[in-house]
Amino acid sequence: MKSDVKQETLALNGDEAVAYAVKQSDVDVVAAYPITPQTIMVEKFSEYVANGEVETEFVCTESEHSAMAASISASATGARAFTATASAGLALMHEMLFVASGCRTPVVMAVANRALSAPLNIHGDHSDTMAERDSGWVQIYVENAQEAYDSVIQAFRIAEHTSVLLPVLVGLDGFTLSHTLENVTALSDADVKEFIGERKLINVLTHEGKSVPFKLDPDNPMTMGPIALQNYYFEFKRQQEEGMKNALALIRQVHDEYAKLSGRSYGNGLVEKYQLDDAEIAVVCVGSTAGTMKTVVDELRAEGVKAGLLKLRTFRPFPVEEIQNALGKVHAVGIMDKSMSFGGNGGAVFHEVRHALYDLAERPLVVDYIYGLGGRDYNPKEFKKIFNELRQIAHSKRVHKLVNFTGLRE
Amino acid sequence: MATTQEWKITAKDIAEKPDILMPGHRACAGCGPAHALRLVMKAIRGPTIVTEATGCMEVVTSIYPYTSWAVPWLHTAFETSAANASGIEAALKVLKRKGKLKQEHVDVIAIAGDGGTFDIGFQALSGAVERGHDFLFVLYDNEAYMNTGIQRSGGTPMGAATTTTPAGSVMPGKLQHKKPIADIMVAHGMEYVASASPYYWKDLLQKVRRGLEVEGPAFLHLFAPCPRGWRTDPAKTINYSKLAVESCVFPVYEVVNGKYTLSTPSKLIALAPQKKKPVADYLKGQGRYRHLFAPQNKHMLDEIQRWTDERWAKLQQKVEQTA
Amino acid sequence: MSSKDKGWKEIAPAGVSPKSSIGFMTGDWKTYMPVRDLEKCTTCLMCVLYCPEGAVRWRPEMGKIEFDYSFCKGCGICANECPTKAITMKLPEKEDE
Ligand SMILES: Cc1ncc(C[n+]2csc(CCOP(=O)(O)OP(=O)(O)O)c2C)c(N)n1
Ligand code: SF4
Ligand code: SF4
């Protein structure tokens, strides 16, 4: 794909790429609290503030809980709000994540994915965000710093769209992406600003009987975040689900528009298919692992093995149809899970992908591979072994072990 | 302080102001917090946004589809009142800078009960004050978690029976004294900290106004009797707010840039100590203290009196020392 | 839940309240109601200031106060605080049987 606009190539790590995207996104309020491996994002952004490079009001809160509360309230006041965190910080925000989605405040958050305690571990896995998959946030996972940059910009468009009005989380793997320098091609400030546009507000009917923009405005008072009991709570939850449904189409649309502008695309924005058209065996993975996995698929293809890869970019809303279309014809599928659902017979990605395939008349055999917890390294050799197992499963049409641990000492 | 002129108010002025906290809320009959907040909202000086912590006042004023708030109002959680205020204020600031705010200025008021202030909301409050956001924090202190059924808080006074400090055969209600929240806020180096009690309505209204006029964080500690949680006669709510001041259980004062001043009702007692009522006058009649009047609990009454005297003496010292 | 409650497509998102509580009468909570002796009332307005409900209204144009019984919860604060004891709490007179 080609781009007609002027772009600049910068050497940035994932955190810096996020901070740079936020700088260009005309964000009004950033409220955040530092935690490894997200720290570079807040530090970098603080520099922008200190040097007058942004107009943003930066609120360096005393906790992530308050960071999320302040992001929600800033957003409720009509501002564009951003925050960033990881691991324990996200866990501390847990309560407020549901408030953000329930209040329909389109906050954008970057998460430098990291393991959860205990034992304490600062390295990358997906335990933090997978634990929040039911919090009503759109979840997008990226493969590299470039995609982190591109996705944060897209996230504002998605979150603030009046048909969605939901908070969006962009997950990038801790250290692997957050701290690794890459060449990142960036759009101009003006192009980003134009792409995102001003925040548009829906109109709501208030107790004064007026239809007014949805924000805390003394000229048009409204009550936000009230108590709703048995008679109404359910209806509000159903509305959120509609926002998620609309996000499914919108993420693709925003992705395509952005691709036209920048020349960069990530599958269709929801999933990215790699060598899947005639694949007999395939793996599904989330985040930076896709990069390694692509080289493994290439090697296998060179050997004549019909291997493929499905990169799950959008995890919420879950792209059921895309998954069915991509994997329906495959014989055996291995799911790469970088988090555990203790006692749940497999990880989150496994559960959901397998669930998505259930309705197909003909469906592949699906096995789970839990790997990389707490930043445990993995290598192409291990991944090749996984493909080998998948070949056996496809051939024998039998699964011996549904849930496997890869790279674990017995 | 930004105050240029004393806000002169009469009962008529206040009576003629519309209720910003509107009728039809579901607080219990005789609710002190509802009354106190109704007064607070009579003192606003212009465009205002209110944010409130989970608790009785949030619940009784916002049961969907009804709202009792005539100004923009936001609730997010129990511990977030001050954090919400931070975000609102930051948003207002930047929107103004960008020319996207219609109003010249918008006041931000954060409201919380004692649970949302002394306990779970304290970290957010301390952080927001340290960061210097321009907002008024209003603590309505009904001295327990009422919304969840009268459990103890860091603001519950010694001896009070709550559902988590019931008066039993070996424990005579809460064993600890109340946390000195106003002093703690003063220690933050805030420009304005004050305490007020609703019987002295004019004093209360003026303090709200002064708190709003401060350019930065201000803290107002409101005494707010809860007939349901205190097991008191609803008709006596205002009466107790007077007795608390007269017995020096809840002195009313202001701390402006670290300088303590007694407000008139308490100053009159300092000037004529014989007017100071025994704490028993205030405690008796409150169901939550009934057990203290049993002979075996006399030591508790004595301790409450001793502690009250000590705090009152210390307060007067601070007034002198900072004069 | 009642059938007159609105469906999810009809209500504003995020729980933005569509009604003011002025439409929610709390007056039927009370047992006793405040009754004022006009002769004793000096319109000092303490009842207006101390009522937690805003159920005592000052009518400057008429120079008098009025109870709004549709919100009064019968707490008795106004009667208790009235300096001239012009307000008494009474059981409402029974309607004709
Ligand atoms: C995180 C969290 N913990 C506990 C609760 C339950 N809860 C709701 S209100 C409340 C007590 C509120 O007490 P206070 O702040 O004193 O206000 P009051 O109800 O007395 O007016 C509690 C414990 C909650 N909502 N959120
Ligand atoms: S329990 Fe107490 S604070 Fe809560 S509404 Fe009733 S009287 Fe007011
Ligand atoms: S009885 Fe209570 S609620 Fe009724 S008017 Fe008097 S103070 Fe108000």
pTM for this model (two decimals): 0.98
Assess if residue A209 is contained within a domain. Answer: no
Query: Hey, where are the domains in chain B?
Result: 11-322
Contacts of B31 in chain C (CB under 8 A): 52
Alpha-carbon dihedral of residues A142, A143, A145, A146, nearest 10 degrees?
A: -90
Please report, for residues B71, B107, B198, B210, C59, the alpha-carbon distance to residue B13 in angstroms, rounded to integers and kept in the order given. Answer: 20, 21, 17, 17, 12
Residues A90-110 have a mean pLDDT of: 98
Domain C26-90 listed as CATH 3.30.70.20: yes
Judge contact between C71 and C25, C-beta under 8 A. Answer: yes
Cross-chain residue pair B94–A29, CB shorter than 8 Å: yes
Together in a domain, A289 and A366: yes
Contact B103 A218 (CB under 8 A): yes
Domain range for A51 is 7-201+231-262
CATH at residue A194: 3.40.50.970
| Lowest-pLDDT range of A385-394, B12-21, C1-10 | C1-10
Asked if A78 and A199 count as a contact pair (C-beta separation under 8 A), the reply is: yes
Residues of B in contact with A66 (CB under 8 A): 80, 82-83, 86, 123-124, 127-128
pLDDT tens digit string along B132-190? Answer: 999 999 999 999 999 999 999 999 999 999 999 999 999 999 999 999 999 999 999 99
Residue B1, pLDDT above cutoff 80: no
Please give the distance, rounded to the nearest whole angstrom, from the Cα atom of residue B232 to the centre of ligand 2.
Answer: 11
- Which residue's C-alpha comes closest to atom 4 of ligand 2? B56
Does pLDDT of B4 surpass 70?
A: no
Question: Which of B48, B88, B98 is opposite residue A74, by nearest beta carbon?
Answer: B88
Report pLDDT digits (tens) over B50-66: 999 999 999 999 999 99
Give the per-residue pLDDT at C3.
67
Among protein residues, the one with the nearest Cα to ligand 1's atom 2 is B78
> The domain B11-322 is classified under which CATH number: 2.50.20.10, 3.40.50.720, 3.30.70.3000, 3.40.50.970?
3.40.50.970
Contact state of A231 with C2 under an 8 Å Cβ cutoff: yes
Q: What is the pLDDT of residues A223-267, one digit of tens each?
A: 999 999 999 999 999 999 999 999 999 999 999 999 999 999 999
| Mode of pairing for the β-strands spanning A314-316 and A138-141 | antiparallel
Pocket of ligand 2 (CB under 6 A): B 27-28, 31, 33-34, 56, 60, 142, 146, 226-229
pLDDT at C82 over 80: yes
Is residue A213 in a domain? no
Give the distance from residue A223's alpha carbon to the nearest chain C alpha carbon, in angstroms. Answer: 5
A84 and A196 part of one domain = yes
pLDDT over 50 at B245, yes or no: yes
User: What tens digit of pLDDT does each residue of A45-70 get?
Assistant: 999 999 999 999 999 999 999 999 99
Residues A235 and A96 in one domain: yes
Q: Does C8 touch chain A (CB under 8 A)?
A: yes
Nearest CA in chain C to B39: C49
Q: Is residue A347 part of a domain?
A: yes
Q: Are residues A244 and A328 in the same domain?
A: no
Whether the per-residue pLDDT at B276 is higher than 70: the answer is yes
Q: Please report the pLDDT score of residue C1 as a whole number.
A: 58
Judged against a pLDDT cut of 80, whether residue B5 lies above it is answered with no
Q: From the candidates C8, C16, C17, which should be mutated to test the interface with B, based on the most B CB atoms within 10 A? A: C17
Say yes or no: A313 and A189 in one domain.
Answer: no
Q: Does residue A376 carry a pLDDT above 60? A: yes
* Mean pLDDT for all residues in chain A: 98
Of C2, C7, C20, which is closest to A207 when you measure between CB atoms? C20
Predicted confidence (pLDDT) per residue in A316-345, tens digit: 999 999 999 999 999 999 999 999 999 999
Boundary residue ending a domain (A240, A262, A284): A262
Q: Could you count the other beta carbons within 10 Å of the beta carbon of residue A230?
A: 7
Answer whether residue A293 shows pLDDT above 90: yes
Q: Using 50, 70 and 90 to split pLDDT, how confident is the model at C97?
A: very low
Tell me how many domains chain A contains.
2
For ligand 1, atom 21, the nearest C-alpha belongs to B56
Q: What is the CATH number of the domain that holds A316?
A: 3.40.50.920
* Span A188-206, average pLDDT: 97
Residue with tokens 């940035």: A12
Q: Is the pLDDT assigned to residue B277 strictly greater than 80?
A: yes
CB atoms within 10 A of CB C28: 9
Domain ranges of chain C: 26-90
The predicted-structure confidence for A2-16, as pLDDT tens digits, reads as follows 888 999 999 999 999
Q: What's the average model confidence in pLDDT over A26-43?
A: 98
First to last CA, chain C: 33
Q: What local confidence, expressed as pLDDT, does residue C4 receive?
A: 83
Tell whether A43 and A100 lie within a shared domain: yes
